Amino acid sequence: MKKIHLILIIIASIGLIGSLAAGGIHLYISQNTIPNHVVVGGWDVGGKKKDEVLKELNAKLNALQQKTLTLYTNVHDVPDVTLTLKNAGVTFEADDFRSAVTRLYEGSWAERMNARQQFQQEWSVTPHWNISLMKQTFSPDWEEKYFGKSVNASRRITPSDEIVYTPEISALRIDWKTLTQTVTAIIPKSFAGTDADSAPLKVKLPLYTMKPEVTVKSLKEEGIDRKIIEFSTGLGSSASGRIYNVSSAAKAIDGMELKPGDFFDYGKVIAKAEEKYGFREAPVILNGKLVPGIGGGICQVSSTVYNAALRTGLQIVERRNHSLPVSYLPKGLDATFAEGSINFRFKNTTGKSLIIRAFVDGNTLTVKFFGTFPQNTEYSLESRTIETLPVTEKFVQNKDIPVGAQEVLQEGKPGYIVETYQVKKVNGKVVERNQVSRDTYRPQNRLIAVHSGESGISNDSSDSKNQVVEDGVSGPNF
């Protein structure tokens, strides 16, 4: 009996102890306060009521965002700019602490007890910076307003052929990489100094000098040192249409810059001139004869450029002489053009940039090259006629003249075979002499009309529409 009584006492004691323990655990995990000795961003919240802490936490985070940041420079007339951290794009959060507090009151009693027992004592305030908001304040327009804008250096050629440079203008700009590092370093990581009388944050804007892409140095490195050649041809008694065409082609070239290794392409020049200025009626060469057409005279420009290129030793890539000799140059020194079939091209082999000027002044077409060329080197040209090709007679039937009669319709002209040589001199001494071309100029027939009364002689049936139009862009419509 005594043994049973003892057992009952033990059981009752265990139950009482269990009840007391359960009550104690319930009281422990139901506390409405933050565990002791807990600090958030330097703010002691241990033992304080949870709801009050969370409410004050929001207020403190907002106070951090309202802290001011002043950005300044030592540049004259550039004002200081003061922003709240919020307007500068900085926000703060203590989400890890909030989550830990939530775990104190959620889950099973064992989980809640463990959360309280393991509650971390040191918590940080985490800043986040959206730098794009600050960049909106210090926008490119703001920088240009207060620091000005950079301006490329420029180069011009004076009427007296001098090379004149206008220096570039540099401008200050914000060094965003350094500014990002500086601001990141001073952004508060705690609640210290959030009171109203705390000193504002100040940062000197880091600046660098932004140079433009084009500087006097970079321009000079292109090698446009001086005028290296000037060559002119006369327009003689050219009619206004021909002078206009020559001027149009020259204007399409004027100011052209060829980088090292670039090609001068006269076909592209003519396309540009035709689109921008158009061409007028003037004689062109068709089937060995001068006939009315559009664009007559454009080959005087290509021929003048050709002579300038030869006299600077440039590589001629494509060139052909006219079918007839021209009046403005010796035979062998011309360069014709026929749209779609004959072009004139050369390559800039100077190793530096080359600028071409071309213009009509009065009765003269002038081409100038500006670039790099040895002062002690010169090129000259020699042309000689190797063979004169005889005039041939061509008869055409004309029933309007008496039978047996003849009438000269066109006096013929001889043709020529011409060789041209390029002579290179260094320090006045000939060092090279190279043949650059062997050209054939076809003879023009002596055209005779006859009335023989026979059918053996017929009218010329050549189809001019299938012939190449030289020195122009189009021929007559037959």
At residue 225, the pLDDT reads 95
Contact 245, 284 (CB under 8 A): no
Q: How far apart are CA 250 and CA 298, in angstroms?
A: 9
Nearest to 226, CA basis, from 370, 377, 375: 370
Q: How far apart are CA 262 and CA 177, in angstroms?
A: 40
How does pLDDT run along the chain (478 residues), one tens digit per residue?
A: 667 767 766 675 565 565 554 555 556 567 889 999 999 999 999 989 998 999 999 999 999 999 999 999 999 999 999 999 999 999 999 999 999 998 988 888 888 989 898 899 999 999 999 999 999 999 999 999 999 999 999 999 999 999 999 999 999 999 999 999 999 999 998 988 666 557 789 999 999 999 999 999 999 999 999 999 999 999 998 899 999 999 999 999 999 999 999 999 999 999 999 999 999 988 888 877 778 888 899 999 999 999 999 999 999 999 999 989 999 999 999 999 998 899 999 999 999 999 999 999 999 999 999 999 999 999 999 999 999 999 888 877 777 777 767 777 777 789 999 999 999 999 999 999 999 999 999 998 877 778 776 554 445 544 444 567 776 777 665 4
Q: How far apart are CA 203 and CA 219, in angstroms?
A: 38
Q: How far apart are CA 241 and CA 471, in angstroms?
A: 13
Q: How far apart are CA 96 and CA 178, in angstroms?
A: 30
Chain centroid offset of residue 71 CA: 35
Q: How far apart are CA 193 and CA 120, in angstroms?
A: 24
Q: Are strands 345-347 and 263-265 parallel, antiparallel or unpaired?
A: antiparallel
Sign of the C-alpha dihedral computed for residues 185, 187, 189 and 195 taken in this order: positive
Contact 435, 415 (CB under 8 A): no
CB atoms within 10 A of CB 61: 18
Task: Kindly list the distances between the CA atom of residue 31 and the CA atoms of 50, 70, 105, in Å, as whole numbers in the listed order.
Answer: 9, 44, 9
Nearest to 284, CA basis, from 302, 269, 274, 297: 297
Q: Are strands 90-93 and 68-72 parallel, antiparallel or unpaired?
A: unpaired
Q: How far apart are CA 217 and CA 198, in angstroms?
A: 51
Q: How far apart are CA 97 and CA 105, in angstroms?
A: 14
Provide the terminal-to-terminal Cα distance of the chain, rounded to the nearest Å. Answer: 146
Task: Kindly list the distances between the CA atom of residue 277 and the CA atoms of 239, 247, 251, in Å, as whole numbers in the listed order.
Answer: 18, 10, 9
Q: How far apart are CA 356 and CA 344, in angstroms?
A: 15
Chain centroid offset of residue 232 CA: 34
Buried residues in 262-296 as b, exposed as e (16+ CB within 10 A)? eebebbebbebbbeeeebbbbbbbbbbbebebbbb
